[in-house]
Amino acid sequence: MTNPSTIMFPVRSAASANPRPADPLISLVVPCYNEEASIGLFMGEANRVLAGHRVEFVFVNDGSRDNTLVVLMTLAENDTRVRIVNFTRNFGKEAALTAGLDHTRGDVVIPMDADLQDPFETVLLFLDKWREGYDVVNGFRKDRATDTLAKRLTAKWFYSVFNTIADNPIPENVGDFRLLDARVVATLRALPER
Ligand code: UDP
Ligand code: MG
């Protein structure tokens, strides 16, 4: 279920003057499209790995056609750490993540897929790096062996094109699995681009 080949790696490492709270609130932002079967497993992993940490969950239901919204609402009724952003139709993962970010209150924000493809333990490694002073910690795929050839080639093409035109290149095989300090999230929220 988890991918042991995913490890964390810090980039753009400005040692931060930002003081770190001893017991930070961790915001997990989880875009969900037809994830009714994943959410319970996701919460199980979160509660297991992050026991003793302060966590809030911002689930974004991206116009699911299954019972994702009902599952989330039931969860939220019984767990005050859970909040829901609901889209009435499917806008795609990027829009869901952006909306979710706008609703976080944490000291650190970590977008995560609902399907547990990123190992939860990595969150603890992200936190260690954040405590060292990094405001952004990117996860990257150590190998893409589990991807199809087509996906690997598409990814390679994406990074080469993006990094040719972008002022701030992103390292290859970095996805959305990362830690963002609240200050970074505030900056992202202020950007006009969507
Ligand atoms: N997702 C979403 N809207 C979409 C497609 C996906 O919110 O239109 C969510 C999905 O539920 C999951 C995450 O985005 O939590 C990643 O989706 P998926 O695993 O399908 O993408 P991949 O891992 O292949 O990039
Ligand atoms: Mg996935």
Summarize pLDDT for 5-50 with one digit per residue, the tens. 444 444 444 555 678 999 999 999 999 999 999 999 999 999 999 9
Q: Which ligand is nearest to the CA of 62?
A: 1
Our mutation pick for probing the ligand 1 site, out of 45, 65, 115, counting the most ligand atoms within 8 A of Cβ, is 115
pLDDT at site 19: 83
Residues framing ligand 1 (Cβ under 6 A): 31-33, 35, 62, 90, 92-93, 96, 113-115, 117
62 CA: nearest ligand 1 atom: 7
Identify the helix (H) or strand (E) that includes residue 8: strand 6-10
Q: What is the pTM of this model?
A: 0.82
At residue 174, the pLDDT reads: 66
SS3 102: helix
pLDDT of residue 163: 61
How far apart are alpha carbons 110 and 99 in whole angstroms?
14
CA of 176 to the centre of ligand 2 (A): 11
Residue 2 has what pLDDT?
A: 43
Q: Residue 6's pLDDT is what? A: 47
Contact yes or no for 155/144 (Cβ under 8 A): yes
Residue 142's pLDDT is 72
Angle at 49 between CA 111 and CA 173, to 5 degrees: 40
**What pLDDT, on the 0 to 100 scale, is given for residue 95?**
96
What DSSP state is assigned to residue 28? E
Angle CA 157–28–96, to nearest 5: 55
Average pLDDT along the chain, 194 residues, taken 10 residues at a time: 46 61 97 98 97 98 98 98 98 96 97 94 96 92 66 62 58 79 93 73
The rounded radius of gyration (Å) of the Cα atoms in the chain is 17
Is residue 8 classed exposed, middle or buried when 0-12, 13-18 and 19+ CB atoms within 10 A define those classes?
buried
Q: What are phi and psi of 177, to 5 degrees?
A: -80, 105
- The closest residue, in CA terms, to atom 18 on ligand 1 is 113
